[in-house]
Amino acid sequence: MKTDVSGLALWQWRLDARKAAVEVDVSVTEVDWLLQEVAGIDSLSLRLESFKERSQIELPYPLSVLSEIWQERLDNRTPVQYLAGVTPWRNFSLKVSPAVLIPRPETEYIIDIAVEAIKNSPIPELELGEWVDLGTGSGAIALGLAEVFNSAKIHAVDYSPDALAIAKLNAENLGLEERIQFYQGSWFSPLLALKGKLSGMVSNPPYIPSSEIPQLQPEVANHEPHIALDGGIDGLDSIRYLIETAPDYLRPGGIWLIEMMAGQADTVVKLLQEQGSYCQIQIYPDLAGINRFALAYLKLA
């Protein structure tokens, strides 16, 4: 139900929404983000408040509905990305729903690490091969890989059929659906035919210790899928599994690349070393300086 509102009315709405946000300690920048997504107002005219001068701004629904959405954000601590149904990630606008973890800005960097990793790989032409994103969720990592490795074949696995539906939608919206094959199942289990063939495995697995999940901010703890967060007692269940299983699926020289939590890097390096099949193990920090990513290569036979 499209509605036109005056710039002044929307400016007043923004002011009220910002005040309400401050009261409950929600970032006021989220108001602008919602206005960008819903009303298509660019960030500069929000910053300069020049949208206030416009006589008409088209909204997809009445201002009262926008108020209800914002109230829901503040009262229930629903992530604004779920309410808008989208999130920016790298240069994509990705559809999200409560069936998928909201892709985080820090995870964007894993794609750049994969590109870097290829340059240092002990074998050539990895970018032409087969890559897998395990626990793809919204499809973010698979889509990022498809974009940067434009000759690779990308496989994306998720346990949740609802998540896969979102991931497929994102692939279609970005015109990348021909490049990615989707599978429902647990980790490597749908990929038996690819044993020994993968050039790279990339994953942002669940890595938060179960007991820490209730203490996360309510936006995460009460709204995001726990299957995407819960890494068992010490948070490392999935990562241990990926360390143990990937050597069966990677080709010699193939890349093993994951995201992890602050404080896990030392243990992950130790587990990779103890497994015995990996070489050139490296840790990469995220932009906040937290050791966030682990990279290794399968030893050449």
User: Mapping DSSP to helix (H, G, I), strand (E, B) and coil, where does residue 258 land?
Assistant: strand
Asked if 240 interacts with ligand GLN (CB under 6 A), we say: no
Both tokens of 285, joined, read 């920090």
Among 92, 207, 293, 297, binds ligand GLN (CB under 6 A): 207
Name the amino acid, one letter, at 125.
E
Of the pair 79, 200, the CB lying nearest ligand GLN is at 79
Quickly count: other Cβ atoms within 10 Å of residue 72's Cβ. 14
Contact 256, 242 (CB under 8 A): yes
Contact 256, 246 (CB under 8 A): yes
Of the pair 152, 260, the CB lying nearest ligand GLN is at 260
The least distance separating ligand GLN from the CB of residue 256, rounded to whole angstroms, comes to 16
Site string for ligand GLN, 253-282 (x = CB under 6 A): ------------------------------
Full 3-state SS string of 162-227 = HHHHHHHHHHHHCCCCCCEEEEECCCCHHHHHHCCCEEEEEECCCCECHHHHHHCCHHHHCCCCHH
Cα–Cα distance measured from residue 94 to residue 97, given in angstroms and rounded to the nearest whole number = 10
Among 18, 77, 104, 223, binds ligand GLN (CB under 6 A): 104
Nearest to 152 by CA among 137, 163, 162, 141: 141
CA 267 to mean position of chain CA atoms: 24
| Stretch of 13-21, 45-53, 204-212, 265-273 lying at the interface with ligand GLN (CB under 6 A) | 204-212
Asked if 229 interacts with ligand GLN (CB under 6 A), we say: yes
The least distance separating ligand GLN from the CB of residue 98, rounded to whole angstroms, comes to 14
| Strand duo 278-285 + 92-95: pairing | unpaired
The least distance separating ligand GLN from the CB of residue 37, rounded to whole angstroms, comes to 21
Among 81, 138, 204, 264, binds ligand GLN (CB under 6 A): 204
Q: Which residues are annotated as a binding site?
A: 135-139, 158, 187, 204-207
Among 100, 142, 201, 208, binds ligand GLN (CB under 6 A): 208
| Stretch of 29-37, 85-93, 192-200, 201-209 lying at the interface with ligand GLN (CB under 6 A) | 201-209
Chain positions contacting ligand GLN, by CB under 6 A = 101, 104, 204-208, 220, 229
